[in-house]
């Protein structure tokens, strides 16, 4: 917050050009400064509260919310006088000078409180009373502090007085650490204002070389070093010499802080931000990528749920069909009983409900009892058994086909689920949705704005020797790149594992073994087995790959293949 305030201080004396509220808890204030127009984002969202300059502006709703209209009324065209912060507290005050309804110039303050689920954006009048806020807080929400129109504004309550990193002594630090005890980094969070866990752990790591060290385990030299590290950080912060950093774990954003992080060196990846507006760019990057990931997860979630439900239904149906198939397999007993009745017509009397005779199909000639319909003659009873045999035979054929069809459908759905898990853009998800619509899994979307306007091209990679490799983004594209490939190109796919089709463009030449192995590692990385250590991949010339008529997208058959085991390639 301190670095953000420093970076956006050039907005002072600028004027408000526009005020928008793209979502329930976010504001975008366009400021007109000497250097041009800049977009100031103020978010009170519990999981992404922040203040920063941004280039990524969300779409605005058709009708502005009430709080947005109120801000336009009171602050429209206003001049930013100053940006204030009380020490290192997580509250920024934006003081504006604007004209009221009577034409008088008045001073109003917009307070951005960045405190997790208690975050808020509050408009305060010249009399110090709340005009309104983006989130109202009444007695049902908090008994300690009300945030309602007409109530005098109060700073968020602080549990206890904390030290400032800009003004403390080693004696004070030592005494408070001894009083709190426990883990040193947790103690620092309680002692100093504005310190996050990641920053506190980095201080301890820089001072002691390890983390998780207890207060009573600190040596005198380590305590000296800890005090020096904090003072060095304070000086760097005041001078604006910081290095905002984002921690990345397995391609997922984990955390961020205002300093370079060495505690997780070699364990997690990190992305550093330097230069102008580094703190703003760091936060903007972190929350933009987080928002994209969350939005993609939400948009893919309904498809994932639909497909999972479909899998359950198909699996249940196949189980029932297999049980029915076992019964159909008993049809030969029906034919045997028909044959035995036909061979003993002269021995069977009319009006009886059963007939016992030797089973000449068994070398031991056991006597079996055959149930009869006493309303029918012996010949018609035999015909009835033959008819039931024919029905069972037909049922077995139909069930076998249905079980195979269900298995193919399961394989297709599993491939779509794998592709969904690897989708990185809205367009990829929409293309998968369109594919599912064409296959009858999802109803057609009647909103033309949500239709896929332009299909994405396949992903293109290049082997170390420059050979081009195409990777399908979805099953329809898998079919397309395979169909359009030359007969001498090579086709790759993980063996019996859902994944993308790959085409190695050979231009009529035989690719090297290194190129094919690289492509195989790519195929493993673009499959459900991407986190495995050894993945089987089939390699075959395109001339031997065929698509059966009427098969699902992405389904092919092939011959003349060979299989190699590879470790998936690590993708960025």
Say if residue 192 is exposed, middle or buried (CB neighbours under 10 Å; 0-12, 13-18, 19+). Answer: buried
Question: Binning pLDDT at 50, 70 and 90, where does residue 572 land?
Answer: low
Q: In this structure, are residues 169 and 223 in contact, taking their beta carbons and an 8 Å threshold?
A: no
State the DSSP string of 351-403.
Answer: T-SEEEEE-TTSTT--EEEEE--TTS-HHHHHHHHHHHHHHHHHHHHHHHHHH
Question: pLDDT higher for 85 or 533?
Answer: 85
Same domain for 482 and 450: no
d(CA 246, CA 281): 11
Within 256-375, residue ranges assigned H as helices are 278-328, 331-343
Q: Which helix (H) or strand (E) holds 563?
A: strand 562-566
- Among 516, 502, 490, 488, smallest CA distance to 554 is for 502
Same domain for 448 and 474: no
Is residue 183 included in any domain, yes or no? yes
Domain that holds residue 177: 170-274
SS3 21: strand
Q: How long is the chain?
A: 572
Per DSSP, 413 falls in state H
Residue 454: per-residue pLDDT: 59
- Among 549, 571, 546, 572, smallest CA distance to 558 is for 546
Is residue 281 included in any domain, yes or no? no
Q: In this structure, are residues 379 and 345 in contact, taking their beta carbons and an 8 Å threshold?
A: yes
Q: What is the pLDDT of residues 198-214, one digit of tens each?
A: 999 999 999 998 888 99
SS3 493: strand
d(CA 481, CA 478): 6
Which of 133, 159, 193 terminates a domain? The answer is: 133
Q: What is the pLDDT of residues 391-422, one digit of tens each?
A: 988 988 999 999 988 988 898 888 888 888 77
Q: In this structure, are residues 139 and 208 in contact, taking their beta carbons and an 8 Å threshold?
A: no
Is residue 303 included in any domain, yes or no? no
CA–CA distance from 238 to each of 82, 182, 510 (Å)? 18, 30, 62
The average pLDDT across 422-431 equals 76
Q: What is the pLDDT of residues 249-295, one digit of tens each?
A: 877 888 999 999 998 888 888 999 998 899 999 999 998 888 766 66
Per DSSP, 131 falls in state E
CA end-to-end span of the chain, whole Å? 30
Which of 456, 474, 497 terminates a domain? The answer is: 456
Is residue 189 included in any domain, yes or no? yes
**In b/e form, how buried is each residue of 14-52, taking b as 16+ CB within 10 angstroms?**
bbbeebbbbeebbbbbbbbbeeeebbbbbbbbeebbbbb
Q: Which helix (H) or strand (E) holds 229?
A: helix 220-239
Q: In this structure, are residues 218 and 182 in contact, taking their beta carbons and an 8 Å threshold?
A: no
Count of domains for the chain: 4
Is residue 300 included in any domain, yes or no? no
Same domain for 464 and 451: no
Residue 448: per-residue pLDDT: 46
Is residue 22 included in any domain, yes or no? yes
Long-range contacts of 516-520 (CB under 8 A, 24+ apart): 516/490, 516/492, 516/564, 517/564, 517/566, 518/463, 518/464, 518/469, 518/569, 519/463, 519/469, 519/490, 519/492, 520/492, 520/564, 520/566
Question: Binning pLDDT at 50, 70 and 90, where does residue 131 land?
Answer: very high
pTM: 0.61
pLDDT reading at 447 higher than 60: no
Sign of the CA dihedral 78, 82, 86, 89? positive
Say if residue 511 is exposed, middle or buried (CB neighbours under 10 Å; 0-12, 13-18, 19+). Answer: buried
Same domain for 389 and 325: yes
Question: Binning pLDDT at 50, 70 and 90, where does residue 141 land?
Answer: confident
SS3 434: helix
Which of 247, 274, 301 terminates a domain? The answer is: 274
Same domain for 181 and 118: no
- Among 19, 52, 56, 12, smallest CA distance to 34 is for 12
Same domain for 516 and 560: yes
pLDDT reading at 118 higher than 80: yes
The average pLDDT across 155-170 equals 86
Is residue 178 included in any domain, yes or no? yes
d(CA 11, CA 16): 10
Same domain for 544 and 463: yes
Same domain for 479 and 388: no
* Phi-psi label, residue 150: left if phi above 0, alpha if psi -120 to 50, beta otherwise: left
CA–CA distance from 192 to each of 20, 114, 165, 249, 257 (Å)? 36, 17, 7, 28, 16
pLDDT reading at 450 higher than 60: no
Q: What is the pLDDT of residues 50-64, one digit of tens each?
A: 999 998 887 788 889
Beta partners for residue 490, in sequence order = 504, 541
Torsion of CA 552, 555, 557, 563, to 10 degrees: -160
d(CA 126, CA 102): 15
Same domain for 325 and 452: yes
Same domain for 207 and 109: no
Average pLDDT of the residues of the chain: 90
The average pLDDT across 438-451 equals 64
CATH of the domain at 75: 2.30.310.10
Residue 93: per-residue pLDDT: 97
Same domain for 320 and 432: yes
Is residue 477 included in any domain, yes or no? yes
Same domain for 235 and 202: yes
Residue 328: per-residue pLDDT: 77
The average pLDDT across 451-478 equals 85
């Amino acid at each position: 917050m301190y670095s953000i305030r420093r970076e956006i201080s050039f907005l002072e004396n600028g004027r408000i050009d526009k005020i928008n509220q793209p979502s329930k808890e976010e504001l975008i204030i366009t400021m007109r400064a000497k250097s041009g127009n800049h977009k100031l984002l103020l978010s009170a969202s519990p999981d992404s509260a922040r203040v920063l300059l941004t280039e990524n502006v969300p779409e605005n709703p058709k009708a502005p919310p009430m709080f947005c209209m109120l801000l336009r009324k009171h602050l429209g065209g206003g001049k930013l006088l100053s940006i204030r912060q009380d020490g290192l507290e997580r509250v920024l005050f934006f003081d504006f000078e604007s004209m009221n309804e009577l034409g008088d110039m008045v001073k109003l303050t917009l307070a951005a409180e960045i405190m997790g689920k208690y975050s808020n954006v509050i408009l305060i009048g010249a009399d110090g009373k709340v005009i309104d806020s983006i989130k109202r807080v009444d007695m049902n929400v908090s008994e300690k502090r009300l945030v309602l129109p007409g109530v005098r504004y109060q700073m968020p309550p602080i549990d206890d007085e904390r030290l400032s990193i800009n003004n403390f002594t080693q004696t004070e630090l030592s005494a408070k650490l001894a009083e709190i005890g426990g883990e040193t980094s947790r103690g620092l969070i309680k002692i100093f204002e504005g310190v996050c866990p990641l920053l506190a752990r980095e201080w301890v790591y820089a001072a002691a070389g390890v983390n998780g060290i207890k207060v009573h385990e600190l040596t005198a030299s380590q305590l000296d070093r800890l005090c020096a590290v904090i003072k060095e950080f304070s000086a760097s912060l005041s001078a604006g010499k910081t290095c905002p950093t984002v921690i990345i774990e397995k391609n997922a954003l984990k955390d961020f802080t205002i300093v370079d992080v060495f505690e997780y060196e070699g364990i997690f990846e990190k992305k550093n931000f330097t230069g102008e507006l580094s703190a703003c760019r760091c936060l903007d990057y972190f929350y933009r990528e987080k928002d994209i990931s969350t939005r993609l997860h939400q948009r893919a979630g309904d498809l994932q749920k639909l497909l999972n439900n479909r899998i359950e239904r198909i699996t249940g149906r196949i189980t029932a069909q297999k049980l029915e198939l076992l019964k159909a397999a008993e049809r030969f007993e029906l034919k045997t009983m028909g044959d035995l009745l036909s061979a003993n017509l002269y021995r069977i009397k009319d009006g009886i409900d059963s007939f016992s005779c030797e089973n000449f199909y068994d070398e031991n000639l056991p006597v079996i009892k055959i149930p009869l319909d006493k309303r029918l003659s012996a010949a018609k009873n035999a015909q009835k058994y033959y008819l039931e045999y024919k029905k069972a035979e037909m049922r077995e054929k139909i069930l076998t086909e249905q079980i195979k069809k269900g298995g193919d459908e399961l394989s297709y759905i599993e491939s779509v689920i794998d592709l969904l898990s690897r989708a990185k853009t809205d367009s990829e998800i929409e293309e998968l949705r369109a594919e599912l619509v064409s296959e009858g899994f999802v109803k057609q979307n009647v909103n033309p704005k949500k239709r896929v306007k332009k299909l994405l091209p396949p992903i293109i990679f290049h082997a170390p020797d420059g050979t081009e490799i195409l990777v399908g983004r979805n099953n329809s594209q898998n079919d397309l790149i395979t169909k359009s490939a030359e007969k001498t190109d090579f086709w790759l796919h993980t063996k019996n594992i859902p994944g993308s089709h790959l085409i190695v463009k050979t231009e009529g030449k035989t690719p090297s073994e290194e190129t094919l192995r690289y492509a195989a590692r790519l195929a493993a990385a673009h499959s459900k087995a991407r986190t495995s250590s050894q993945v089987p991949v089939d390699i075959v010339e395109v001339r031997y790959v065929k698509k059966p008529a009427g098969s699902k997208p992405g389904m092919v058959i092939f011959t003349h293949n060979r299989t190699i085991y590879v470790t998936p390639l690590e993708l960025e």
